[in-house]
Structure 1
Amino acid sequence: MNIAIVGTGYVGLVSGTCFAELGANVTCVDVNAQKIENLKQGKIPIYEPNLDSMVLRNIKAGRLRFTTDLSSILDSVEVVFSAVGTPPDEDGSADLRYVFEVAKTIGQHMNNYLVVVTKSTVPVGTAEKVKTVIQAELNKRSVQIGFDVASNPEFLKEGSAIDDFMKPDRVVVGVESERAKDLMTRLYKPMLLNNFRVIFMDIPSAEMTKYAANSMLATRISFMNDIANLCELVGADVNMVRKGIGTDSRIGSKFLYSGCGYGGSCFPKDVKALIKTADQNGYDMRVLNAVEAVNESQKNILFEKFKLYFNGDVKNKKVAIWGLAFKPETDDMREAPALVLIDSLLKAGCQVCAYDPVAMNECKRRIGDVISYGKNMYDTVIDANAIFHVTEWKEFRMPSWGVIRKAMKENPVLIDGRNVFSVSELEGIDYLKIG
């Protein structure tokens, strides 16, 4: 089966490569010529475990190709996925200009029946607008060519995206014709031979499903952070509370971890976009407004604990930050709690040394050399007054606390933003956690 994926960002590149791994002939399209040239050589622009080797393998097999010219391949494909960016606009709504540019190009150059599939996270009603754009271009050409639009939202987690794609909990597809349904069934059948977990539904429901899923997960995180903050006031332990409620089959244990706030490319953007969609339809998403407010507040909690510990005297304190990415197994720092923490520390006159296994180049790109960067986790703690544990990378789990204590200044403190450690394992280091 021949398909095209427009957009070689996180979603487009992972999806295109995985479809090629399953045997489809995939052409990935992007307007960035340098990125395309790099991809042709197997140089990928993102960090995702095992993706680079999979890209190279499928390039060599001839199943994965890259181009900047969408119009040149439309006659040879049956399905076009639109996986371009939908960044938040100033008012929180999704910016759909790139989605519509793809639709316009398709309408201007298509000559055969196509299924045009929106893979990007887009507000309800976007597929209908895409359909209108394509039809308008066909009308300008005075041609009658059949096509269908569909919605196929992604549910990839950064750091485990390949497994998520190859072994999905479910695949959601919104269609409005049997022909489109048959094509999408053919496309997904190879990965789901033993358990066909494709859920077909109407297009608006598919578009809403992605926002609803991410908003529910964000809600669980903010709820547990609210509970954690109350636990501190009443003397309860949020880790015990989490275990107590997580065993309830109606609740479950996933996404019940308290911490220093969620970040990344999905949760913040999607919560804002769903709130905006509701606002445009005259409805107030009261729960999600609270979810967003709790999260923004939670990103300041590490600095507040630090300031309270030192009774407000934090100027010229040297601090170590372990972890910069918004989560482990990625270099993504979009909306990362570490950025909020660094900003607060620098404004307070602190010296900051940070280490992250993969995200330091991304951090340098974003903020430059306003902080220093360690060669490893131990390098950051030399003469430090405090350690902030911000991203729960596996290599941070079993440090040599004796070595760390000797390297730090007197009366040091570890502020654990992910509740990974326990006071019993530390040696002469005070310990603060969330909740």
Structure 2
Amino acid sequence: MLVSVIGAGYVGLVAACCLANSGHRVKCVEHDRSKCEMLAGGLLPFYEEGLGDLLARGVKGGKLSFSTEIESIKNTEIIIVAVGTPSRPDGKVDLGQIFGVMTDISELATEPVTLIMKSTVPPGLGLQLQKRFLFQKSGKIAYVSNPEFLREGRAVKDWYQPERIVVGAETPEAVETVKSLYSDIEAPFCVMDISSAEMVKYASNAFLATKISFINEIANLCELVGADIIPVARAVGMDGRIGGSFLQAGLGYGGSCFPKDTKGLDFISTLNGHTFNLLKAVIEVNARQRILAVRKLSRLLDSLCGKKIAILGLSFKPGTDDTRESPSLDIIRMLGDEGAEVTAYDPMAVLRQNAGPLPEFTLCGDPLAALTSSHAAVITTEWREFLDMDWEKAWKIMSPPRVILDGRNCLDPHKIKSLGFQYAGMGRA
């Protein structure tokens, strides 16, 4: 099939590369000219395991092409919209890019086409978009909601091995078109109306965020009563009704999806006259986890002012270079406010403009350089490199009192303590 993908961010580029790898001819539209040229040359603008090979193969094989011209979507069978829907300061989803793309599509589509919305949009928006932009194209544009559930760091695997494919459509023909697009993927299709499909994405992310905040609250209570969250979470997760995923206590969730979608769903709820108290608590708990970590560090060091603190990990999770809404950045800001001298290291992360303002800190080329003369280290991302690091050597180059705050509970506390460090985890008495 001939497919146009509008937007070459995480979602759009994964979709374009995977569809091209599956044999479809894919045109990807990206307004950023320098980014478009980079992609046309087979180079990724961000890190995602396995995606670089698919990109190079698609470009070289002629199945994948890139353009800055929106007019290139003409005469395609399927148009996939994968532009950004960032969160505004009030939590509302910024739909500016969506409206711009829909205007272009309504003007350019002259042949029957299936429009697949991959961008995360508020429930009910699909129906509004049809009325606002597509009412004059009746019969020519079939609108479909097909939310993505890709995890950064394993997006390619998630594309080819999804747990389900959600399709919100108004006609059987549109559903069959989407099924043909994914003909090489074995997964159950969940077919429903458009608004319900849009809700699935928000509900899924909100529930996973709830699990994270819940286990962090249990971890905080564990510290107060002398319990250890590690065996507690393991045993709780063995209950088949609960499951062990997303029960890792730590600094809370980050990234491009959970923070944006929880705030967006809270705004949608308020706008519709519903007070989503549970979701408000999830958001509050997540923000507080960073503060608790800094308070714990302050107690261990007596004061943060004048202390040198090493931050190990900048990306919001291992396997990605994405720092959006990363706990590490919040911690760096708070440490800077307290007068600490901050060094940092990450094997992959890239601080982009959307990282927001940060106090002055030193970004080092290796972890030992960041740890040199540091009074404390904070593990903010559980990269394998930190687990396998020579901590005995780290002890020698750090300064007393040599505190390790394991914000991800990924180190062996007995080993770290045996080397002479002061160790503190999250929810570990």
TM-score bucket of the superposed structures, by smaller chain: over 0.9
Match of 1:141 in 2: none
* 8 A contact 2:345–2:367 mirrored in 1: yes
* 8 A contact 2:343–2:362 mirrored in 1: yes
Match of 2:270 in 1: 279
Match of 2:115 in 1: 116
List per-residue Cα deviations over 1:322-378 (Å, max 9, x = no partner).
100111111111111111110111111111110000115549975578111222111
Letter in 1 for 2:422: D
Match of 1:434 in 2: 426
Measured in 1, the distance between the counterparts of 2:267 and 2:58 equals 40
* 8 A contact 1:84–1:120 mirrored in 2: yes
Letter in 1 for 2:313: G
Letter in 2 for 1:205: S
Match of 1:235 in 2: 226
Match of 2:96 in 1: 97
Letter in 2 for 1:117: I
Instruction: Structure 1: state its 5+ residue gaps.
Output: 139-143
Alignment of structure 1 residues 266-415 onto 2, 5 Å: 266-311=257-302, 313-362=303-352, 370-415=360-405
Letter in 2 for 1:42: G
The 4+ residue runs of structure 1 with deviation greater than 6 A are none
Letter in 1 for 2:45: P
Match of 2:83 in 1: 84
Measured in 1, the distance between the counterparts of 2:255 and 2:188 equals 27
Match of 1:39 in 2: 39
* 8 A contact 2:323–2:355 mirrored in 1: no
Match of 1:263 in 2: 254
Measured in 1, the distance between the counterparts of 2:274 and 2:413 equals 46
TM-score scaled by length of structure 1: 0.95
Letter in 2 for 1:70: I
* 8 A contact 1:333–1:363 mirrored in 2: no
Measured in 1, the distance between the counterparts of 2:422 and 2:358 equals 31
Question: Percent sequence identity over matched residues?
Answer: 40
Corresponding pairs, count: 425
Letter in 1 for 2:19: F
Q: What's the secondary structure of 2:66's corresponding residue?
A: strand
* 8 A contact 1:107–1:133 mirrored in 2: no
Which has the larger displacement, 199-208 or 65-74?
Answer: 65-74
Measured in 2, the distance between the counterparts of 1:212 and 1:247 equals 23
Letter in 2 for 1:175: A
Residue 137 of structure 1, CA deviation? 5.8
Residue 135 of structure 1, CA deviation? 2.5
Match of 1:252 in 2: 243
Residue 136 of structure 1, CA deviation? 5.0
Aligned in 2, Cα 1:156/1:19: closer, same or farther, shift over 3 Å? Answer: same
Letter in 2 for 1:169: E
List per-residue Cα deviations over 1:132-161 (Å, max 9, x = no partner).
2332565xxxxx652210000000000000
Measured in 1, the distance between the counterparts of 2:363 and 2:259 equals 27
Residue 316 of structure 1, CA deviation? 1.1
Measured in 2, the distance between the counterparts of 1:92 and 1:364 equals 16
List per-residue Cα deviations over 1:118-137 (Å, max 9, x = no partner).
10111011111221233256
Q: Within the alignment, does 1:164 sit opposite 2:154 as a pair? A: no
Letter in 1 for 2:110: N
Measured in 2, the distance between the counterparts of 1:294 and 1:90 equals 18
List per-residue Cα deviations over 1:147-192 (Å, max 9, x = no partner).
2100000000000000000111111111110110111111111122
* 8 A contact 2:73–2:79 mirrored in 1: no
Measured in 2, the distance between the counterparts of 1:109 and 1:147 equals 11
* 8 A contact 2:49–2:319 mirrored in 1: yes
Measured in 2, the distance between the counterparts of 1:182 and 1:288 equals 36
* 8 A contact 1:246–1:253 mirrored in 2: yes
Match of 2:180 in 1: 186
Match of 1:62 in 2: 62
Q: What's the secondary structure of 1:149's corresponding residue?
A: strand
- Cα RMSD (Å): 1.6
Aligned in 2, Cα 1:180/1:295: closer, same or farther, shift over 3 Å? Answer: same
Aligned in 2, Cα 1:183/1:296: closer, same or farther, shift over 3 Å? Answer: same
* 8 A contact 2:322–2:350 mirrored in 1: no
Pick one of 192, 196, 205 that aligns with 1:201.
192
Measured in 1, the distance between the counterparts of 2:129 and 2:344 equals 44
Q: Within the alignment, does 1:22 sit opposite 2:22 as a pair? A: yes
Letter in 2 for 1:199: C
Measured in 2, the distance between the counterparts of 1:145 and 1:175 equals 14
Match of 1:150 in 2: 144
